[in-house]
Amino acid sequence: MTQPAGPSRPTVRSVRIERRGGLAGLAVSATHDYVALSAAQQQALAQVIEAAASHGPARVRGAPAGPAPGADRLSYRLHVQYSAGVEQVLDVSDDAMPSVLESLAKPSLP
């Protein structure tokens, strides 16, 4: 499900998801082509983008104003690349991150 192109809705090309925090405080980053995402992942990404548009330019409802309380809390930063070369950066709290997108930034264990 590719988003319709146009002045208000450019086409998403890729998304990089950074996960920070957790018990060890390790940062994990993963980049995915939009067309390689499942329909559920594409829909969840569209919902996060819509939430950011209605709650502020770079925040999603539930995102803390400062550092998350508790050392083991996770936070996410999504870098959404559009076909026009524009990047949108979204900060998403652990509570607001859809699990279907969260799984894209899980560390791979040896």
pLDDT tens, residue by residue, 87-103? 999 999 888 899 999 98
Domain spans in the chain, listed from the N-terminal domain onward? 12-105
Q: What is the pLDDT of residue 6?
A: 45
Q: What is the pLDDT of residue 2?
A: 44
Q: Is the pLDDT of residue 14 over 70?
A: yes
Q: Which helix (H) or strand (E) holds 39?
A: helix 39-55
Alpha-carbon torsion, ordered 85, 88, 89, 94, to 10 deg: -130
In the chain the first and final C-alpha atoms are separated, in Å, by: 33
Q: What is the pLDDT of residue 32?
A: 95
Which residue would you say has higher pLDDT here, 105 or 45?
45
Q: Is the pLDDT of residue 48 over 90?
A: yes
Length of the chain in residues, anyone?
Answer: 110
pTM assigned to the model: 0.75
Q: Is the pLDDT of residue 108 over 70?
A: no
